[in-house]
């Protein structure tokens, strides 16, 4: 395909040791040559080589750079790609970019590099989305899921399913063409049913991974609740210490919220409002307040901490009530001290939810807690490290729709509908699955998807 040449800063904004400006398009090399000064012209350079030199504007050196030249088609976009490694601050990098824009390049839209990779057939849509997931991945596992998706694992699976559907549809055509055999209709229906059930089972299997996939991708929103001094901060610190939590700043809200991610045996916990837990001792007072109830209801998972050195209080009961209906683990802390709490009552309140005995000062119970958390969310399946997970919301929605279409096929056959009517639902399932890989997809959707990318990707 024929595209103009795009340019963007591909590294995160702000101060860094190096910044990379990426150019892609037919004229990428020529445009870079117009501002790059070195012994050799980039135009004469071999593909996949790197060159030292200077960027000049009106004969003045503005940057000292290393420039990589990569010729189509062995590049990310399948176009000619030039990457300029600058080592200056924001100002000089921006100056180089501006210069490129004045010498023939156009500023890339967010995600446009990846979009080109897709349009030029290098990757399919689910792989392109994986690129985005990879950028946003917050845990090793999330990264693993994205990497495998980028690898085309999911695409292969989906393509196989589509092939099955296509085979079935072809078979239907053939049978319709030879109506002279008596039992042809029955045979066709039988075959359709079998194939549809098969494909549906695979779709359902994929959907079963969706919840785990979502957890892997986004982390479980986790709240630590408990009365003052029961050991919430100690628990938080222990979790963080064990794992060297990844701390991210999310700016743009009224105050910066610090989110901490800890990886508990492969379960990424996104600890919400931990700052609040650290600072306010009045969480119990607030528990009755609608706002804090809302915060709790947004949690996917709750760690309810009790101090077993004291009897249960009415605040503790309130906490159980607030947590009810959610996934939670009871952490019965301070087991190094004498027990004053009615354990039977705690187990009664906990119901089916696990109760773990811990002593933060003696570092007891951490392993049991981790086990309980892992068991709650992954039941061992997570160890199958190379499983294909569906984690993307769009993919999940499409799989659900495909599942419905397949259901319609099954009930259509059951009700004895004519085959050509059933065919319509089968074709719909085929189309819906195709949207996952981008084999059947509309331009609008594409634009919307790629716009979610960061600039320069």
Among 120, 234, 238, 423, binds ligand GDP (CB under 6 A): 234
For ligand GDP, which is the closer residue by CB, 228 or 288?
Answer: 228
Q: Which residues have C-beta within 8 Å of that of residue 361, sequence separation ≥ 6?
A: 234, 334, 336
**What are 333's strand-pairing partners?**
307
Per-residue CA distances from 8 to 3, 51, 78, 326 (Å): 15, 19, 17, 45
Q: Which is nearer to ligand GDP, 18 or 361 (CB)?
A: 361
Question: Which residue lies nearer to ligand GDP by CB, 163 or 229?
Answer: 229
Question: Which residue has tokens 């870079």?
Answer: 32
Confirm or reject binding of residue 282 to ligand GDP (CB under 6 A).
no
Closer Cβ to ligand GDP, 10 or 233, answer by number: 233
For the CB of residue 360, give the shortest distance to ligand GDP in the complex, in Å.
Answer: 3
Interface pattern 110-129 for ligand GDP (x via CB under 6 A): --------------------
Q: Are 195 and 168 in contact (CB under 8 A)?
A: yes
Residue 334 found at the interface with ligand GDP (CB under 6 A): yes
Q: Which of 361, 393, 424, 445 binds ligand GDP (CB under 6 A)?
A: 361
* Contact between 356 and ligand GDP per CB under 6 A: no
**What is the spatial distance between Cα 234 and Cα 220, in angstroms, rounded to a whole number?**
20
CB-based contacts of 73, cutoff 8 Å, min separation 6? 120
If one asks whether residue 230 binds ligand GDP (CB under 6 A), the answer comes out as yes
Is 359 a residue that touches ligand GDP (CB under 6 A)? Answer: yes
Taking the CA atoms of residue 145, residue 147, residue 148 and residue 154 in that order, the dihedral angle to the nearest 10 degrees is 80
Q: Which of 61, 90, 187, 337 binds ligand GDP (CB under 6 A)?
A: 337
Cα distance between residue 236 and residue 243, in whole Å:
11
Span interacting with ligand GDP, options 182-190, 333-341, 389-397, 415-423, rule CB under 6 A:
333-341
Q: Does an H or E element contain 315, and which?
A: helix 314-323
Sheet strand arrangement including 36-37: 36-37, 49-57, 60-70, 81-86, 19-24, 6-9, 106-107
Q: Of residues 290-329, which lie at the interface with ligand GDP (CB under 6 A)? A: none
CB of 66 to ligand GDP, least distance (A): 50
Q: In the numeric block, which tokens belong to residue 187? A: 């045979």
Q: Which residues bind ligand GDP (CB under 6 A)?
A: 226, 228-234, 333-334, 336-337, 359-361
């Amino acid at each position: 395909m024929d595209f103009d040449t795009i340019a963007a800063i591909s590294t995160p904004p702000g101060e860094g040791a190096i910044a990379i400006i990426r150019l892609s398009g037919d004229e990428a090399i020529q445009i870079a040559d117009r501002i790059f000064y070195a012994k050799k012209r980039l135009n004469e350079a071999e593909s996949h080589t790197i060159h030292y030199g200077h960027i000049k504007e009106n004969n003045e050196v503005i940057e000292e750079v290393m420039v990589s030249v990569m010729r189509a088609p062995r590049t990310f976009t399948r176009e000619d790609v030039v990457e300029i490694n600058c080592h200056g601050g924001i100002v000089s990098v921006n100056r180089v970019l501006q210069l490129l824009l004045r010498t023939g390049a156009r500023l890339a839209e967010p995600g446009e590099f990846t979009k080109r990779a897709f349009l030029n057939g290098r990757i399919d849509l689910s792989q392109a989305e994986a690129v985005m997931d990879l950028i946003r991945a917050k845990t090793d596992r999330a990264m693993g899921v994205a990497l495998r998706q980028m690898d085309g694992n999911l695409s292969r699976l989906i393509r196989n399913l589509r092939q099955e559907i296509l085979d079935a549809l072809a078979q239907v055509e053939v049978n319709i063409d030879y109506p002279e055999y008596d039992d042809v209709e029955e045979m066709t229906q039988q075959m359709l049913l079998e194939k549809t059930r098969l494909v549906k089972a695979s779709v359902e299997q994929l959907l079963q991974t969706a919840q785990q996939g979502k957890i892997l991708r986004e982390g479980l929103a986790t709240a630590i609740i408990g009365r003052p001094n029961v050991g919430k901060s100690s628990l938080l610190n222990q979790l963080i210490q064990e794992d060297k939590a990844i701390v991210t700043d999310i700016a743009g809200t009224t105050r910066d919220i610090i989110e901490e991610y800890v990886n508990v045996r492969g379960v990424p916990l996104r600890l919400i409002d931990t700052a609040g837990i650290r600072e306010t001792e009045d969480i119990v007072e607030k528990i009755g307040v609608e706002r804090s109830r809302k915060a709790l209801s947004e949690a996917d998972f709750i760690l309810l901490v009790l101090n077993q050195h004291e009897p249960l209080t009415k605040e503790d009961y309130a906490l159980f009530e607030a947590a009810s209906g959610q996934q939670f683990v009871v952490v019965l802390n301070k087991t190094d001290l004498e027990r004053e709490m009615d354990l039977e009552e705690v187990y009664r309140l906990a119901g089916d939810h696990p109760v773990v005995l811990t002593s933060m000062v003696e570092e007891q119970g951490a392993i049991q807690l981790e086990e309980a958390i892992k068991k709650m969310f992954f039941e061992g399946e997570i160890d199958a490290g190379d499983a294909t997970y569906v984690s993307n919301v769009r993919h999940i929605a499409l799989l659900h729709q495909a599942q419905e279409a397949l259901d319609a096929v099954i009930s259509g056959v059951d009700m004895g509908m004519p085959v050509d009517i059933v065919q319509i639902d089968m074709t719909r399932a085929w189309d819906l699955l195709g949207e996952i890989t981008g084999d059947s997809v509309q331009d609008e959707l594409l634009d919307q998807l790629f716009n979610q990318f960061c600039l320069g990707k």
